[in-house]
Structure 1
Amino acid sequence: MTDVPNQDRKTIRNDRPSSTHSPVVVDTPPQRVHDAGDLLRALVSLILGLLVTLAAVYLRGTAAGVESDMRQAGHAMDWLMDVPTNFLQQIVTVTVVLAVLIHLLVNREWLQSITAPLAMFVGYSLVLIISNLIVSTRNTTLIASFNPQNAFGSTVLLPDIYAGLAAFLSAAGPRRLRSTVKWGWNALYAVAVIMIIISSNSVSGVLVSLLLGRIAGMVIRYIVGTQNKGAWGEAVAQAVASIGIDLTELTRVDATLDKDGQPIPCLNDDLIEASRIYRAKDASGTRYTVSVMDGQLHTAGYLMQLWQWIKLSGVSMRRDRSAMDSMQHHMAILFELRDLDLSALHPYGLTESAESSILVFYDDTHLTSIEPDLLDADQARQLMDFLARANSRGYTHRRITPNTLATDNEGHAVIAGWENSDSASSSANIALDRVQLLSLIAASLGVEETVRIALESWGKDTLIALMPFIQMVAIPSQTQALPGWNRQVMSDLRARLRSLAPPESVETTDQVTLSRFSLRSFLALVLLVIAVVVIFTQFNLQQVIQAVRNANPWMAGLSFLLGSFSWVGGAITLGVLVDKKKRNIPGIFLSQVASSFTSVSMPAGVGPAFVNLQYLRKSGYGNTMATAIMSAVVAVQFATTFVLLIVIGLFTGRNTLSGMIPTNTLVIVIGVVAIVAALAMAIPYTRRLIMDKLMPIVASYARHLFDILTQPRQLALAASGSVVQSAALGMSFWAALMAFGCRTNIFETTFVFLLANTLGSAVPTPGGLGAIEAVLFSAFRLAGVPSGVAISATLVFRVANYWLRIPLGALAMRWLGRHNLI
């Protein structure tokens, strides 16, 4: 829900004479709500659908047993066999659709009267498409898992009645608000049970069809939105009257919108997410701030709390399942903070109406936000003292971000936004609070000044105890978005706190595990899964064994050693471009080894670039600089390979180059890119987006890249490393040919290998798998190598420089992860 600008809103006014029951109310009409819970339900339905499909295929006996039990239990209903199934389905469908549509039309819900039937059509179409896709696979096991056993008459793979009605009822819902939708679901479930008992439909077919309809209906309901069932206008005034406030005025406050048009949380109600704020006055002239949170909009906040609970390990997180739970806890925390003589908003009371929770504040405390770049040392000290006072009684904030910094009536710096806070907090939660505030102030004042102030406020022992908690996962994204923030802040902060501790304690202090789930662990899991799939689906073990068995073992071993030497070349290229202070030789070398593991799940060239980028970020470089260095490495390697091809081609007389470059394809790609770029710049919106958002980033990146590539000494050393890398791989393939007694010119072999490997790597398969083998075999066969030798040498080379590298890369990745270098 978003508030419309003041000049566009239609006010709901009641200008009758003031009395206990008739205040002057100025409010906007209720807006439709895009409930994040609808998307969550669609996602859950998708997951359940996949699980049902897997169970139907791989637990076929169990699924058949469930169906058999249901049929045995339904023997008492044998009379149902005489009921025409088509008639039963049609009568239920027509009755449910008519009842729900009449209900919607009577209640003048025009939009849902249109979208519910459309959702039904989408449900029918979706189940038809999925059925055809399953049949087109010709997988008899998969098809049999959805086909009803002992079915009579005409049967379908996935019955469409369940998908159509499920989509219709989901889009027309929710069921708690409409009795016809509730009874429609009950009727649909009854039909499903009957159809399974009489063997007309299978359990798996019914469930998958229902879930497909549920997905379609929920997605459409989210896109269109549902009517807000919260309290508005007069209903808010009446709810406030129930807790003893005789209002004479109630006026809606327009929300400030962000760049995406969403309301920004306001200090007037202590930064309550997705709330509506009203100014109010009672008969005695006392003024209040009224904050209204709709239950339909609380889902997004609950999901955020749930995500924090899943992401963080070792710290407790609140999970308020309802808006009332959240409001009650928030009010209690504010009362407790005021009891500690800490400046916080002054709650009056809490009430609820319809699906809204309403928190009323006295209008006697006014908070003003502090801009992080204007924060001074005195304010930083006050913020630290404020947090220390709250933490001393076990109260923790849990989400200290730039917008929570404020000043009160007297100009004292305070921390606001206690909606997600908690009491009786553990030491880990307290440490997390302090790390969040410390890093926020450090991004504004610098690490040295921040630590100096923290020593005065918190003391040396407290700061030393924070060392294990100085981790990126603890820092909110809003803090990381500050202009003064970069990853080096965390490294400098950690180093500064380490300098305060005795050397012996630093050695024995282990980092606390805060992240239960991180992007790094997720990517590692994805890479492992892809690697396993690739190995078991693409690795032709019998063919490889035959090739290796016929090879000279000494030359095959030499091929592996020469190929491994390419890691040294890659490490030289990267290491030269890294600052001396950040140059970790073992880490740089092992990052090249680790790239062998990523190449099994990423296209050739992408894996090494990805590892280099992650390593540079962990080494303290900002995103722009890390990307510039990574791009410089790629540019040097590409340029070196191109020059080597030209030089070797000239001196060996090879004209293979002109015959192997796919000119037409290259021209087509360039033309498509040019057309897309021209269209993007021709459209005003995309042109402004590119010029305002993209070009500053590109300019900064290009500037860093130019600075790197215009240093002759570094460039020469980086190029030499790339020459070593290319030469090592070329010589490795030469040794693979020698393993089968094929003596070739080492320079010509390197030339053909570099050309073929470059072209094969352009195909976006994991590690160039399949493409590199095909191009190498074709290139060397064209160069005069016998077909049998060419394919055998290619297989030995790929075993030595691809498959055997995978476990070594995995070990290197693990070492880098343990040392926080990737």
Structure 2
Amino acid sequence: MSSPDDNAADGSGRDTGRETPDGRETPGGGEASDGREASGGREASGGGTAKDTPVLVVEPLLPQRLRRPSDALRCLASLLMFIGVVLLALVAKQTLNGIEQDVEVGTSRAPWPLVMIAGFVGGGAVLIIPAALAVERVFHRDGLRVAEGLIAAIAAVLVAFGLGEWLIMASEDLRQLLTGGRASVEPLNTLLTSVVAYMTAVRISRRPTWRSLMWVAIALDVFALFTGADATALGVIVSILVGLGVGYGTLYAIGSPNTRPPGSAMVAALRRLGYAPTRARRIDDDVQGSRRYAVTIEEERRVDVTVLDRDRQVAGLLYRLWRRLLLASETRRRAIRSLRAELEREALMAYAAKAAGANTPNLLGTSEIGTEAALLVYEHLDTRALEDVPDEEITDDVLTEIWEQVRRLQAQRLAHRRLEGESIHLDKSGHVVLVDARSGEIAAGDLLLRLDIAQCLTYLALRVGPERSVRTAAAVLGADALAGALPLLQRIALTRQTRSALRRKDKQLLSAVREQIVELKPPGVVAQVRLERFRPRTLVTIIGSALAAYLLLSQLGQVDFVRVLTTAEWAWTGVAFVAAGLSYVAAALMIKGFVPESLPLGRTVMVQFAGSFVKLVAPAAVSSVALNTRYLQKRGIPPGQAVASVGASQLIGLAFHIALLLFFAYVTGSDAAASLTPSRTLLIVLLAVSVAIVVVLGVAPLRRMISTRVRALFSGVVPRLLDVLQSPRRIVQSVTGTLLLTLTFVVCLDACVRAFGHDMNFAAVAVVFLAGNAIGSAAPTPGGLGAVETALMAGLTLSGVNPGVATSAVLLFRLLTFWLPVLPGWASFTWLQRHKAI
């Protein structure tokens, strides 16, 4: 989880990293940006004889952002609720279908004007309100929060898309429950999921007005979806849960502004306890990650202060939850405690250990520090952790005294739960001091007391060997006590640090300790203790077997591709072949349109065919640009103008590519309900463009690089474009060639899909091709090999095409557009070289 903090007081005594009234979260830490140590302490009112005297608090700089374990907890809770809802829906599917029918009947009776208003207002508001909040945050110089929201929205779109498709493929019942049996209904509503993730990541819950507006807009949009039969009750619920999970997961991954109180607030709390601190400094955190301060009070007396931060109470939560699931109930600890409960637990254990006669530091007082932290004040003892003591200094007398401290705790039924090197200290006289009692238990059962013995035996055996560890323990506790701990000498029963040390130093140490105990007292009938509910290896085996079975069944269910290819309709295959051939003519027309000089059409078409051969050894975008530039230079066009002409064709082609992608993406969703809700593909494109703009504008080196390249582009390409614009014929030729080039490929892919008996929407095919082609152009492989096939197959499958048909169609498409042109491309390349045309 989050790492220990290093914070500096800001000299004002105020909490840093809090949210301001306008909703901005100020960064944590109050120290100079150069990281120098700073003094803290505007004096708090209250007790103390020197309350008007400034106090020096020396501490490092707090990180401005923290990964809050509470965000991870909320993300996990959302995930568990999602799983629970899905499982409950499968169990009570008849009830859910009845609810779905009631919802449909109820919404169908809504007045027509209300339906129209809800559709247009709700569909628009769910986009307008997040945009308005983004503008408001940017206006208040809080653009980072907007960027976090956009990242969460992008992640939500991807998760909703993939998860929804997987759910409906995994179960026919889930398909019915999530889509109502309608092909036009998304399993998880992409827009709803991304909006919820966005509003969660920007912490709109802290802005009551914006939160209310957002939920009203979502309610109207959900009502519109129900009236248009574009969503189901289960789909809406799981969309919201997934959005919450992704939003909180993004917050945890990116981090949140630090709100922990600085050292000056700790000083003010000490004054309220009646102390008069004169100076304080941060020292190493304790073993559980709590902050510690060495504070000097009146008459040069020193006390040690432990600060418990509220957000640390769920630190290590996943590990503790796993241990609670893995271990028997008698050994488990509570996974979550409130700040107040943690404070009371440590204080109670400190008083109980002292009353038992154990040598522990005196607890002098406790106090809360505002709402975010609490502190415990201990007397200062000059000690060293046993972890830092050399092995040769750990004598038998030291070992005996350690076991004497353990005996005193056990006599009063107190379990320490962390008897290791960081919790066992030696003072200047060599006497043992026990610290870190926060994990302990009062009125502990026999099992916990025996676990303490097993833990201490193992740790000391790592330091001084099994023989000395067992011999000194037996001298104090007796052989019967060690025999009782014998069944608990299991790796799972030890602390995490001790288990790690065992793996590093001696994996056979536990067996050696057991042998030493058996030599002292041969066991009679010793009851075995099973601490684990199940072994992690068993869980991994079950999950791996289930996954392997699922993948195997999926593979067996695939269509025989060879048989499918042989049954393709040759009429549509012929259409695809003609379209693939016309693409080279279209590419030639496009180049001719951007070159004011005259170019022969036949030879220019041959150059495009030659490009299909060059693509075998170079990426698609690089090969076509280089070959066309070389061709223009051989035609007598100066190098600068040749590069500018090819660059202009590429720039306009990119603009048309984006425009066509947006157009066809919008068309694919235009047959939805009467609302302004965009299609999933358009939403993905818009979010991707938004993130790209934020990244470009927010990263200074990237912004400078882009601006430099744009200036270079305008210095060469734009004048060339102006030359083209002076000729209407060139304009028509360039526009026609650019559009025709894209449309011929789309027609080719569409014909390939139809050749295998699948009737697919032309606009959807266009979106799949445009997206796949963009990936192929960016891929570093020759001709986008591998990347294009994967992207097209995935796009067709997600668009509803059978995976076997999608694979066959893509293979046929690539055969016609990539592999078959290689031979005529090689012939054209050879002929052009022979005639010095390239």
Question: What TM-score do you get using the length of structure 1 for normalisation?
Answer: 0.56
Measured in 2, the distance between the counterparts of 1:15 and 1:310 equals: 45
CA distance in 1, matches of 2:511, 2:346: 35
- 2:533 corresponds to 1:516: yes
Is the 2:280–2:295 contact (alpha carbons within 8 Å) kept by the matching residues of 1?
yes
- Given the alignment, which residue of 154, 158, 171 partners 1:121? 154
Asked if residue 190 in structure 1 is aligned to residue 219 in structure 2, the reply is yes
Q: Is the 8 A contact 1:229 1:354 kept in 2?
A: no
State the partner residue of 1:677.
none
Aligned to 1:68: 101
> Is the 1:21–1:238 Cα contact (8 Å) retained in structure 2?
no
> Could you give the per-residue CA deviations for residues 371-428 of structure 1, whole angstroms, max 9, x where no partner exists?
3761332221111111110111111112323322211353212332222111010000
Q: Which residue of 2 aligns with 1:291?
A: 306
**Which residue among 510, 516, 520 is the counterpart of 1:490?**
510
In the alignment, which residue of structure 1 is the partner of 2:119?
Answer: 85
Aligned to 1:714: none
Asked if residue 147 in structure 1 is aligned to residue 179 in structure 2, the reply is: yes
Structure 1 Cα separation of the partners of residues 186 and 544 of structure 2? 39
The one-letter amino acid of 1:323's match is L
Match of 1:221 in 2: 251
- Aligned partner letter, 2:509: V
Contact (CA 8 Å) 2:118, 2:224: kept in 1 or not?
Answer: no
Q: 1:13 aligns with which of 39, 56, 71?
A: 39
1:242 matched residue in structure 2: 272
Aligned amino acid, residue 490 of structure 1 = L
2:81 aligned with 1:36: no
2-side partners of 1:536 and 1:131: how far apart? 20
Quote the residue 1:423 is aligned against. Answer: 442
Question: Which residue among 309, 320, 328 is the counterpart of 1:313?
Answer: 328
Q: Find the residue that maps to 2:257 and give its secondary structure.
A: coil
Change (3 A) 1:384 1:71: farther
Residue 463 (structure 2) pairs with residue 437 (structure 1): no
Q: Is the Cα–Cα contact under 8 Å of residues 350 and 357 in structure 1 kept in the other structure? A: no
* 1:457 Cα offset (Å): 0.5
Unpaired runs of 5+ in structure 1? 256-264, 541-822
**In 1: Cα distance, 2:124 partner to 2:369 partner:** 41
Rounded Cα–Cα distance in structure 2 between residues aligned with 1:238 and 1:391: 38
Per-residue deviation, residues 196-240 of structure 1 (Å, max 9, x unmatched): 764442122212322332333223212221012221243333333
Contact residue 147 and residue 202 of structure 1 kept, 8 A: yes
SS in 1 for 2:368: strand
RCO higher in 1 or 2 (8 Å CA, sep ≥ 6)? 2
The reply on whether 1:353 has 2:369 as its aligned counterpart is: yes
Establish whether residue 397 from structure 1 lines up as the match of residue 416 from structure 2. Answer: yes
1:23 matched to 2:66 = no
CA 1:303–1:144: 2 relative to 1, 3 Å: closer
CA distance in 2, matches of 1:56, 1:192: 23
Aligned-partner SS, 2:425: strand
- How far 1:76 moved relative to its partner? 8.8
C-alpha distance 441-297 of structure 1, shift in aligned 2 (>3 A): same
CA distance in 1, matches of 2:134, 2:273: 38
Preserved CA contact (<8 Å) 1:71 1:196: no
2: distance between equivalents of 1:477 and 1:533? 35
Q: Distance in 2 between matches of 1:72 and 1:22?
A: 71
- The partner residue of 1:452 within 463, 471, 495 is 471
SS of the residue aligned with 2:422? helix
Kept in 2: contact 1:343–1:408 (CA 8 A): no
Q: Is contact 1:346-1:365 (8 Å) kept?
A: no
**Structure 1: distance between partners of 2:60 and 2:490:** 44
The two structures have a TM-score, normalised by structure 2, of 0.55
Matching residue of 1:478: 497
Task: Output aligned runs, 1:245-264, within 5 Å.
Answer: 245-253=275-283, 255=284
* Percent of residue pairs identical: 22
* Amino acid aligned to 1:293: L
Counterpart-to-counterpart distance in 1, 2:263 and 2:131: 34
Distance 1:243 1:97 in 2: 49
Match of 1:324 among 330, 336, 340: 340
**Structure 2 unaligned residues grouped into runs of 5+:** 9-32, 44-49, 558-838
How far apart, CA to CA, are the structure 1 residues paired with 2:166 and 2:530? 45
Give the Cα–Cα distance (whole angstroms) in 2 for the partners of residues 289 and 522 of structure 1: 44
Question: Does the aligned pair in 2 maintain the 1:246–1:282 contact within 8 Å?
Answer: yes
> What CA deviation, in whole Å up to 9, does each residue of 1:117-143 have, x standing for no partner?
3322332344345556678x5986554
- When structure 1 is superposed on structure 2, of 411-420 and 24-33 the one drifting more is 24-33
Once residues 364 and 302 of structure 2 are traced to their aligned partners in structure 1, the CA distance between those partners, rounded to angstroms, is 11
**Contact 1:287–1:362 (Cα < 8 Å) also in 2:** no
1:435 offset after TM fit, Å? 0.5
CA offsets 1:419-459 (integer angstroms, 9 cap, x no match):
21110100000000001001111222222222211121101
**d(CA) in 1 for partners of 2:42, 2:82:** 56
Shift of 1:496: 3.0
Which of 342, 351, 354 does residue 338 from structure 1 map onto?
Answer: 354
Match of 1:407 among 412, 415, 426: 426
Report the CA distance between 1:338 and its aligned residue: 1.9
Corresponding residue of 2:294: 279
Distance 1:350 1:145, change over 3 A: same
Deviation at 1:247, TM superposition (A): 3.4
Of 186, 195, 201, 2:231 maps to: 201
CA contact (8 A) 1:172 1:181 kept: no
Secondary structure of the equivalent of 2:333? coil
Residues 302, 321 of structure 1: 8 Å contact kept:
no
Question: Aligned residues, how many?
Answer: 517
CA distance in 1: counterparts of 2:125 and 2:92, whole angstroms: 34
Q: SS of the residue aligned with 2:231?
A: coil
Q: Which residue of 2 aligns with 1:771?
A: none
Shift of 1:536: 8.7
- Structure 1 residue 20 displacement after superposition: 4.1
Compare CA radii of gyration and give the structure with the larger one: 2
Please provide the CA RMSD for this pair: 3.8
